[in-house]
């Protein structure tokens, strides 16, 4: 299984944000086939009661020749993993990790902003040059 170019950077960014990486990769059955979501992570939220938040993160670099083709592929993969998680691990939220440069140039188009919202695509926008998460889009 090949890792995306920014896999390790996103992993380190999550750790810097207080997440504990529990899976690298997160293995999940997709019907009769085995799938691999890039990362699984957990974080304890400090409140009146300690509550644990679980996420799975699919990391994408978006370095292909077409942003549209890259997004179509990522969205399809996201939806398949979302369906599998809904059945196998419903307490875990799925996120698509996207680089800041891609996010700024692609999601300036309201059509794609609405498309992501319609399909409930949660995103982590990461900085490609720093181990820092720029934005969480829930």
Q: Using one digit for the tens of pLDDT, what is the confidence trace for 29-79? A: 999 999 999 999 999 876 555 678 999 999 999 999 999 999 999 999 999
With cut-offs at 50, 70 and 90, classify the pLDDT of residue 3.
Answer: confident
pTM, whole model, 2 decimals? 0.94
80 has a pLDDT exceeding 80: yes
Verify cis geometry, omega within 30 degrees of 0, for the bond prior to 25. Answer: yes
How far is residue 48 from each of residues 44, 45, 51, 52, measured CA to CA in Å? 12, 10, 9, 13
Tally of CA atoms within 13 A in the half-sphere of 78 that contains its CB: 23
Topology (CATH) of 7-137: Trna Endonuclease; Chain: A, domain 1 (3.40.1350)
């Amino acid at each position: 299984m090949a890792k995306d170019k920014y896999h390790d950077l996103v992993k380190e960014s999550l750790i810097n944000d207080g997440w504990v990486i529990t899976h690298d990769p997160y293995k999940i059955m997709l019907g009769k086939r085995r799938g691999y979501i890039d990362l699984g992570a957990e974080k304890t939220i400090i409140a009146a009661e300690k509550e644990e938040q679980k996420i799975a993160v699919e990391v994408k670099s978006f370095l292909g020749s077409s942003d549209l083709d890259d997004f179509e592929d990522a969205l399809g993969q996201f939806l398949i993993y979302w369906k599998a998680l809904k059945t196998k691990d419903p307490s875990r939220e799925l996120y698509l990790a996207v680089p800041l440069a891609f996010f700024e140039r692609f999601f300036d188009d309201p059509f794609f902003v609405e498309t992501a919202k319609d399909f409930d695509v949660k995103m982590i926008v990461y900085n490609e040059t720093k181990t820092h998460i720029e934005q969480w889009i829930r």
